[in-house]
């Protein structure tokens, strides 16, 4: 299989087969263990995954010279710590997806109709499907590849669900994620870091969906589905080699650009020792091939 997805860029040597560099990382991609009751794949046995070939054949819109920016919009107000978290996540998403990230004017909670809200499990929730289908499409800038909303309110997709951490539309290029269940980032410096790491996971997971990626069912990967905070915490922040290949195809980029940026980010932030180790190994493997 060959993909004309990667060209000479930022001094990196490109492989004749642009997937070869990603495939070289296969030994670092651990296989998922059998799902236990309550896990995402146990509760969703119909998920079949998405091969690289299937992703490429999907005809999913890739970024171009016009629609090239990922935008973030806040729903509701955030305090100083919440705004700091959003700034960090914005920088992280830019490194992760190799595209500019910008913000647009926030949307007040009052803009969400009362019938699209509910009180459940002690949380005031907003309907994520309403956000995706009715609110965000009209806010999407002309040069936006995608628009994702960030809110402190809890989310629910329909009456049958208790909550979701986030949700995205693969076709409309819109998504939303919530920090409501990810921790009390004001409790302490360590709580801020812990909540930030969880927020980075959810935001990058939902953005991957907006790039057309389905849930990864084969490897331990940031695009794994999760049914609980415990399951999400056990999943990595990085992409398996197959999902990284999808990103490289979509962004017309070499994996080293993604890996080096995230290695530097995690080394600087000190949020996730496992991520530093993984990205160091991945960068070393690909640098030896250059």
Please give the structure tokens belonging to residue 26: 């296969």
Confidence at residue 227, expressed as pLDDT on a 0 to 100 scale: 92
CATH number of 61-211: 3.40.390.10
List the beta strands (DSSP E) in 85-229.
101-107, 117-120, 123-127, 144-151, 154-156, 166-169, 174-178
253 within 8 A of 6, measured Cβ to Cβ: yes
Rounded Cα distance between 10 and 91, Å, is 19
Write down the domain spans for the chain. 1-59+218-255+267-290, 61-211
**Can you tell me the mean pLDDT for 253-273?**
97
Choose among 77, 81, 274, 78: nearest CA to 189: 81
Percent of all residues in the chain with a pLDDT value above 90, rounded to a whole number: 84
Would you state the pLDDT for residue 4? 29
Do 289 and 24 form a contact (C-beta atoms < 8 A)? yes
Whether the per-residue pLDDT at 13 is higher than 80: the answer is no
Task: Name which of 18-27, 55-64, 234-243 the model is least confident about.
Answer: 55-64
- The answer to whether residues 153 and 75 touch, using CB atoms and an 8 Å cutoff, is yes
Q: 110: pLDDT confidence band, cut at 50, 70 and 90?
A: very high
Q: Is the pTM of this model over 0.85?
A: yes
Q: Are strands 123-127 and 117-120 parallel, antiparallel or unpaired?
A: antiparallel
pLDDT score for 172:
87
pLDDT in tens, 118-161: 999 999 999 999 999 999 999 999 999 999 999 999 999 999 99
Residue 270: count other Cβ atoms within 10 Å of its Cβ.
9
Helices 80-97, 255-269: crossing angle, 10 deg rounding: 150
Please name every residue paired with 75 in a beta bridge, in sequence order, or none if there are none.
Answer: 107, 151
- Interatomic CA distance for residues 38 and 41, integer angstroms: 8
């Amino acid at each position: 299989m060959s993909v004309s997805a990667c060209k000479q860029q930022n001094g990196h040597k490109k492989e004749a087969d642009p997937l070869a560099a990603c495939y070289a990382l296969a030994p670092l991609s651990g296989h998922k263990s059998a799902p236990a009751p309550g896990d995402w794949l146990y509760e969703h046995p119909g998920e079949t995954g998405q091969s690289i070939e299937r992703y490429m054949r999907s005809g999913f819109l890739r970024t171009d010279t016009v629609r090239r920016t990922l935008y973030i919009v806040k729903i509701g107000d955030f305090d100083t710590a919440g705004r700091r978290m959003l700034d960090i996540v914005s920088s992280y998403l830019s490194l992760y997806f190799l595209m500019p990230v910008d913000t647009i004017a926030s949307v007040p909670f009052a803009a969400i109709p009362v019938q699209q809200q509910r009180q459940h499990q002690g949380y005031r929730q907003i309907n994520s499907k309403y956000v995706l289908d009715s609110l965000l499409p009209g806010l999407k800038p002309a040069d936006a590849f995608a628009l994702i909303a960030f809110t402190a309110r809890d989310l629910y997709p329909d009456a049958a669900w208790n909550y979701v951490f986030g949700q995205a539309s693969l076709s409309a290029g819109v998504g939303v994620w919530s920090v409501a269940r990810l921790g009390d980032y004001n409790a302490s410096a360590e709580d801020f870091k812990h909540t930030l790491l969880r927020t980075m996971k959810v935001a990058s997971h939902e953005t991957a969906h907006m790039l057309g990626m389905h849930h990864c069912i084969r490897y331990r990967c940031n695009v794994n589905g999760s049914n609980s905070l415990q399951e999400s915490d056990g999943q990595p922040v990085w992409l398996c080699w197959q999902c990284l290949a999808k990103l490289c195809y979509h962004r017309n980029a070499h994996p080293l650009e993604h890996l080096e940026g995230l290695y530097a980010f995690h080394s600087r932030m000190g949020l996730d020792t496992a991520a530093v180790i993984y990205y160091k190994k991945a960068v070393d493997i690909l640098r030896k091939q250059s």
